Each structure stands twice: as C-alpha cells, then as structure tokens.
Amino acid sequence: MSGRKVKHVLLVAVLTGLTVAGFSGSSMAQEPIKLGAIYCFAGPCHMYSESAIKGIKIAVEEVNAAGGILGRKLELIVRDTEMKVDVGAREVKDLILREKVHFLEGPCSSGVALALQVVHSEYKVLRITTMANTEAQVVDKFTPYVVQIVPNTYMEAIAATRYLHKRYPKAKKFCTIAPDYEFGRREEAAFAEEIKRLVPDAEIVYEAWPKPGEKDFTSFITAIMAKKPDAVHSSLFGGDLVAFTKQAAPYGFFQKIPFIALYDLPVLLALGEDAPEGVMGFGRGCFFMDPNPKMMAFAEKYRQLHGTYPDSWAVQAYDGVYLLKAAIEKAKSISTEEVIKAMEGLTLDSLRGKFTIRPLDHMGTVPCYQGVIAKDPKYPFKIWKDLSRIPGEEVIRSEESVREIWKKTGVVR
C-alpha cells in the first residue's frame, strides 16, 4: 500500500468514524425526555390527581403525535405519594435517581409539595406545580427548581375578595370559614389583607376553622348566623364544601348571607340540584369558567375519551406539559439550568389564555375566575354565570413584597 493510499484509507476511516459518531449522536437524541408525574392518589386528593393524570396524558399524546420535543418523544412516569410527606420524598427520590426523569410535574397536596421541594431542589430537577397552590413554594421557601402555574393561595384569595367586594361594596362585617391547614390559613390571611385594603373599616367578626374532612358543619353554621355578617368568605372545597352547602341551605343561609367559596366543577356535579343558585364561586379555570375555543376543544376531546367534563385540575396539568415543551424548545436543550432560564419570562398561549412566568419567583401570571352559580340548559348540572376573569398580573404579589418575605425567610436571589 502506498503512503498516499494509506492516507486515503485513514481519511475514509476517520470520515466513517465521524459519521457513525454523528449517527449514534442523533440516535442518542432519539431517547425520550422523561417526565415524572407525582400526584397524591389518596383521600380528598385522589380524584383531583386522577383528573391531572388524564390531562397530562392527553397533552403527552398530542405532543408525541406532533413529533415530540426537539425530535424526542416525551415519556410519562406516574408515581403516587399517598398524600404522605415521607412517601412523597421517597418516590420523588426514586424518580430522580432510578428512573432518571428530566422534569417533574405535581403534586396535589400543598404539604407534600413542600416536602418534595426540598428533595428535588437538592438534586437540581425542575418541578412544574400545577395543583398544590400554597404560595410558600415560590415565596417563603423559593428555590429556582419550581415553577407554579396554578393561581397560588395569595392570588386566588385576593381575586375572590375583589369580586366579593365588587358585588357587595357595602359589606363591612365579615366571617370566614376555611379548612384548618396550610391552604385554608393562607387563603384567609390573604382575604383579611385585601378586604382591609378595599374597605378600611372592615371587620372580621368570626373565623371558623373546621378540620379538613369535617362532616357536620351545623354548629359552625349557627355560630356564623348568630354573628349576622354582611358576607362570608370561605376556602372550603371538595366534599367539605358539599357537606357545608347541604347543611346550610335549610337554615336559609344562602338567602340571608352573601357567600363565596371554591364552587368548581366536582362540587357542582356532586351537589346536582342542591347547588345553590345565586351563590358566588371562585375557581382555577375549567371550560365553563373560560369558554374560549381552545379550552372548549380540549373539553370536548376529554369528554369523548373519559365520558366526563374535565375540571380545572386536568386543565392545569395539561398546560404544564405545554409549558415544558415551550421552554425546552426555546432553550434548545433539556439541561435543567437552561430550561429554567428559558422559562423565565416565557409567555404561554394556554387553555386559560396567555400567561407569563415571572422571572423573579417563577410564578405564572395565571388568571383567577369567579362567577355566580346558575342553571344552563346546555348542561345537566349547574355552572356559573356573570363570569369574571382576573388576569394574574393584577393579583400577583408585588416583587417588593416577595423580596421582603425573602429577607425574613432567608432566601437569597
């Protein structure tokens, strides 16, 4: 073999090697992007978590059918926290270390969310929180590895308070009733803050704190009625709100006292005919709260698949997948740090309209919804009328206020 020929063979070998390397490189790129969905399939969270998974699955299928993200398929791995802090911490660790997920979505319970946050932040894995809405995730205990796209306790309560005030501007004497844990405490603190801002001489004459899962609200109802308030703000939800509503109705409670609570789709479905017309509700965004074409198309698709209408939890979980897709495509990478950077300031055209992830604390400017319970001939259950959609920009905690809390809790950013 002449020297020239050797050179030629070598060149071919190198070129082949490069091509093969390039090929294997692109076949590497075909490996799926793993999304760990960690939700709470127990107690009051069970049903919400099932909705969320259904929403996520629809989004994942759509994304994969359209060619995936950066040409890579999205793979879903579902885990259950059993609504327990220790199980949640164990499962999320397993998702990260053994399943090697790239991103996380979930959970349902606010308490579990704060426990997960410690673990996945340590391993530098990003979690999109679509359901657990305690503000502590992005404010008090901020870490860069969380993005929140559900109206948090602060935004939700501020928005509901403004709606209540708009409808009953003369109300001065208030009572509150809320489940006695992280979520209820934070919602009512925000209500107290906002109502005193709107009505300087407002007075909260009675605060009721039933335990989560309370079955008998009779004593609370008579105690509230004895105080003769101008209006009642409540963050009761789910089965508790169903029980409260049924027990309060015979007292003529809803005719006598303006009342606002989390009357979303599952509660209205469970109450059926017992849902009190004219009572105010707030919620996080489902088809009857925001009947835009994109939302209605999703609702129809979901209904054909599952035979029921999707609730807000399915909507938010679905939006979470598309937020991830948009951020990865903007970053052109699945490196956590680069995706986080891409997410900051990103605007998503979601089922609930456009919202933006605020760079400071990773809170999405997601809208909050309010309305009045009413019959609609189109549906076999009651929905809302007099719809109100308050954009997140109007109710999100100010950056100064966030920084002030960070000074107290020791967050440096």
Partner 1 sequence: MSLDILFNQFMSGIARGALLFLVASGLSLTFGVLRVLNFAHGSLYMLGGFLCYTIWGHLLLPLFGFYIATILSALIMAASGLVIELFVLRRLYHRGWPEQLLATYALILIITDLVKWRWGGEFLSVPRPKPFTGAVFLFDFPFPAYNLFVIGLGVALAVFLWWLVYRTHLGDIIRAAAHDREMVAALGIPIPWLFTWIFVLGAFIAGLSGAVAAPFGAVALGMDIEIIVECFAVVVIGGMGSLPGTLLGSFIVGQVYSFGIMYKPELALAFIFMVMAVVLIIRPWGIFGRPER
Closest CA to 58 of 66, 150, 293: 66
Q: Residue 197 forms beta bridges with which residues? A: none
Distance (Å, whole) CA 128 – CA 138: 11
Give whichever of 225 and 334 is closer to partner 1, judged by the CB atom.
225
To partner 1, the closest distance from the beta carbon of 322 in angstroms equals 26
Q: How far is CA 371 from CA 58, 313, 383, in A?
A: 28, 18, 9
> What DSSP character marks residue 69?
B
Residues 5, 98, 170, 215: which binds partner 1 (CB under 8 A)? 215
Residues 266, 281, 285, 310: which binds partner 1 (CB under 8 A)? 266
To partner 1, the closest distance from the beta carbon of 57 in angstroms equals 17
- Encoded one letter per residue, x for contact with partner 1 by CB under 8 A and - for no contact, window 217-256 reads xxxxxxx-xx-----------xxx-xx--xx--xxx----
Residues 191 and 171: beta-carbon distance below 8 Å: no
Stretch that binds partner 1, among 129-137, 271-279, 344-352, 404-412 (CB under 8 A): 271-279
Residues 58, 59, 208, 260: which binds partner 1 (CB under 8 A)? 208
To partner 1, the closest distance from the beta carbon of 412 in angstroms equals 35
- Encoded one letter per residue, x for contact with partner 1 by CB under 8 A and - for no contact, window 24-43 reads -----------------xxx
C-alpha neighbours within 13 Å on the C-beta side of residue 246: 14
Give whichever of 239 and 364 is closer to partner 1, judged by the CB atom.
239
Closest CA to 38 of 108, 98, 97, 85: 108
Q: What is the distance between the terminal CA atoms of the chain, rounded to a whole angstrom?
A: 66
**CB burial class (10 A; 0-12, 13-18, 19+) of residue 103?**
buried
To partner 1, the closest distance from the beta carbon of 206 in angstroms equals 8
Residues 126 and 104: beta-carbon distance below 8 Å: yes
Residues 203, 216, 277, 349: which binds partner 1 (CB under 8 A)? 216
To partner 1, the closest distance from the beta carbon of 213 in angstroms equals 5
Give whichever of 42 and 199 is closer to partner 1, judged by the CB atom.
42
Residues 25, 272, 278, 291: which binds partner 1 (CB under 8 A)? 272
Residues 61, 93, 121, 209: which binds partner 1 (CB under 8 A)? 209
| Helix (H) or strand (E) segment spanning residue 388 | strand 383-390
Q: Residue 207 forms beta bridges with which residues? A: 176
To partner 1, the closest distance from the beta carbon of 129 in angstroms equals 20
Our finding on whether 391 is near partner 1 (CB under 8 A) is no
Report the SS3 class of residue 360.
Answer: coil
Distance (Å, whole) CA 191 – CA 249: 24
Closest CA to 142 of 124, 160, 118: 118
Number of chain positions touching partner 1 (CB under 8 A): 44
- Encoded one letter per residue, x for contact with partner 1 by CB under 8 A and - for no contact, window 351-380 reads ------------------------------
Give whichever of 122 and 216 is closer to partner 1, judged by the CB atom.
216
Residues 199 and 256: beta-carbon distance below 8 Å: no
Residues 46, 90, 93, 306: which binds partner 1 (CB under 8 A)? 46
Residues 4, 5, 170, 211: which binds partner 1 (CB under 8 A)? 211
Q: What are the structure tokens assigned to 371, written together?
A: 């309305």
Closest CA to 363 of 105, 160, 130: 130
CA 133 to chain centroid, in Å, comes to 6
Our finding on whether 307 is near partner 1 (CB under 8 A) is no
Residues 217 and 225: beta-carbon distance below 8 Å: no
Q: What are the structure tokens assigned to 193, written together?
A: 């803050």
Site residues, partner 1 (CB under 8 A):
41-47, 49-50, 180, 206-209, 211, 213-223, 225-226, 238-240, 242-243, 246-247, 250-252, 266, 270-274
